[in-house]
Structure 1
Amino acid sequence: MSEMWDAVVLGGGDAGDEFAASQGVAVKPLLALGGRPMAAWVLDALRASGRVRRVAYVGPTTPELDARIDVRVTDQGSLLGNLEAGVAALAGEAGRRVMVVTADIPMLTGAELAEVLDAAPNAGLVYPVVTRAACEAAYPGVKRTYARLRDGVFTGGNVFLLDPSLIGRFLPRLRALLAARKNPARLALMIGPGVLVRLLLGRLRIAALEARVGALLGVEARALVTARASVGTDVDKLEDLALARRALGLPDA
């Protein structure tokens, strides 16, 4: 029997998001796509996957979104704050992992999500990554940020899986990493100069990266390589929105 998941959907946003403001909405997930909020496409994919038991949505909603949500959670003003609040709101059963999804990946389908979930290893933190070849084949012209590793060229996904009992262990460490991101020397020291040099030169293997991330966060961390480009293709700007409309067979605005 396939594993059933609780899901946290991150639908909050930066109050100063110029893209959202240009579309006449407070946060990106509320912008109209095919006559409904972009977040509705994501929520429908979760339900269509047949793998989701409950959904906690963090951020502002509409009546249309409310009909698709089990638990509403107020936007906490930061990504990690929203993650923590969403997981806490579900208060799942011991041993049940949680899926975390951003509300700006409208091309995601239920079948693709089910495939990713069914392939996920049993680890404290699982982060899907998508091959560049898969992204460019699925969405010609798509622009993503890629990392070159010994195993291939990848972009990060907008879905990850975690054991909620470990969140108190790794969130403080993740906050420290994010706080150091504007201080290259401090960040390099935390990551490890040897690991950083190999990463920059494209010589780092996924297994080594998993080990380093796990050591930094204090949890077993695993990457899940997937060819499902929708997992790693979010909508951040007008050209992304145009790409999403084409991919979904919708008319131009």
Structure 2
Amino acid sequence: MTGALTVLVLAGERDGRLDPLAEAAGVSLKALSPVAGRPMVAHVLDTLAASHRVDEVRISINAGSGLERLPEVRSLAAAGRLRMFSSQPNLVDSVLDAVKGAAFPVLIVTADSVLITPEQIAEFDIAARRSGAEVAVALARRESVLAAHPDGQRKFYKCSDGAFSNCNMYWIGEDSALRAAELFRSGGQFVKHPLRVVGALGLRGVVELVRFRLGLSALDASFKRLSKRFGLRIVPIELSDGAAAIDVDHARSLKVTEEVLAWRHVEPQRLAAE
């Protein structure tokens, strides 16, 4: 493990499947859809370029995307801090391909996490290292998310010690911890094929997921039991800034994100004027 972070930005989509936001904007990929007048992935790249903890940025995106024409991409590439990879048909394969030879730890984020900030990255990285995690998952408490925007999220994981939202930020401490990704190769098909859940997690894992979804277990207790099942130390990290849990998935969250960006721009000016 090094002192700096490698960051993987997942920006690809399944071939032949056009995202509604991309279609509405007349672009080829969701990652290129405009948010506050700029491609959403440009906001993420600006944050990564500004973070003192980030050494290398890797982007997984569909071949022929034209992403290399963005000034944010050209700037990072010119500084020797960026590499691009063609996304694979399977999300897990995209991750495994893009992190080959990377220096760990690796932080995985998504192109639609427009509200990510250097402060969030630092908070997550520091907490993950201190926890001794092999894998860390960023979460935000409901109260923090709604404080960032009253319509920031509508669905939360309810635990016995609170309700939380996933921030789509994952910290991988060592390459050996990537074996956990194989458990989720079938991804969204779990819902349609429950037996795959049993095969991937085992009956005890399924019971723990049910307890978690029903709010019958505390957050840390759930992760400790799942860690034991996976043979990895998987740690939940609660971020203080609830905006980390707001990503751009549809028209409503696009509007929310643009409002938060506008507030961030106005607030420093207001404080300076006081």
TM-score (norm 2): 0.81
Residues 18 and 29, structure 2, Cα contact 8 Å, conserved in 1: no
Structure 2: runs of 5 or more not aligned: 264-274
- Out of 78, 81, 89, the position equivalent to 2:90 is 78
**Aligned ranges 1:57-206 → 2 under 5 Å:** 57-59=59-61, 60=65, 61-64=67-70, 65-67=72-74, 68-69=76-77, 70-88=82-100, 91-93=101-103, 96-120=104-128, 121-175=131-185, 179-184=189-194, 187=197, 190=202, 192=204, 194-206=207-219
Aligned to 1:8: 8
Residues 125 and 220, structure 1, Cα contact 8 Å, conserved in 2: yes
Aligned to 2:256: 243
- Match of 1:201, as an amino acid? L
- Out of 33, 48, 51, the position equivalent to 2:50 is 48
The structure where helix makes up a greater share of residues is 2
User: How big is the shift at 1:246?
Assistant: 1.1
- Out of 31, 34, 44, the position equivalent to 1:32 is 34
Alpha-carbon distance between aligned partners in 1 of 2:218 and 2:117, rounded to the nearest angstrom? 30
Alpha-carbon distance between aligned partners in 2 of 1:191 and 1:233, rounded to the nearest angstrom? 32
Name the CA shift for 1:196/1:4 in 2 (closer, same or farther; >3 Å). Answer: closer
Alpha-carbon distance between aligned partners in 2 of 1:244 and 1:47, rounded to the nearest angstrom? 20
TM-score (norm 1): 0.87
Alpha-carbon distance between aligned partners in 2 of 1:28 and 1:202, rounded to the nearest angstrom? 33
Q: Once the two structures are aligned, what percentage of the paired residues are identical?
A: 27
Aligned to 1:223: 236
Alpha-carbon distance between aligned partners in 2 of 1:162 and 1:210, rounded to the nearest angstrom? 15
Output one character per residue of 1:43-77: Cα deviation in whole Å (capped at 9) or x when no partner: 11112221100001111314124223510101213
Structure 1: runs of 5 or more not aligned: none
Residues 91 and 185, structure 2, Cα contact 8 Å, conserved in 1: no
User: How big is the shift at 1:175?
Assistant: 1.8
User: How big is the shift at 1:196?
Assistant: 3.9
Alpha-carbon distance between aligned partners in 1 of 2:73 and 2:86, rounded to the nearest angstrom? 13
Name the CA shift for 1:227/1:144 in 2 (closer, same or farther; >3 Å). Answer: farther
Output one character per residue of 1:122-159: Cα deviation in whole Å (capped at 9) or x when no partner: 31110011101100010112234211111210011111
Residues 139 and 247, structure 1, Cα contact 8 Å, conserved in 2: yes
Aligned residues: 246
Note the aligned Cα RMSD (angstroms).
Answer: 2.4
- Match of 2:73, as an amino acid? D
Alpha-carbon distance between aligned partners in 1 of 2:177 and 2:209, rounded to the nearest angstrom? 25
Alpha-carbon distance between aligned partners in 2 of 1:176 and 1:34, rounded to the nearest angstrom? 34
Residues 123 and 222, structure 1, Cα contact 8 Å, conserved in 2: yes
Divergent runs of 4+, >6 A = none
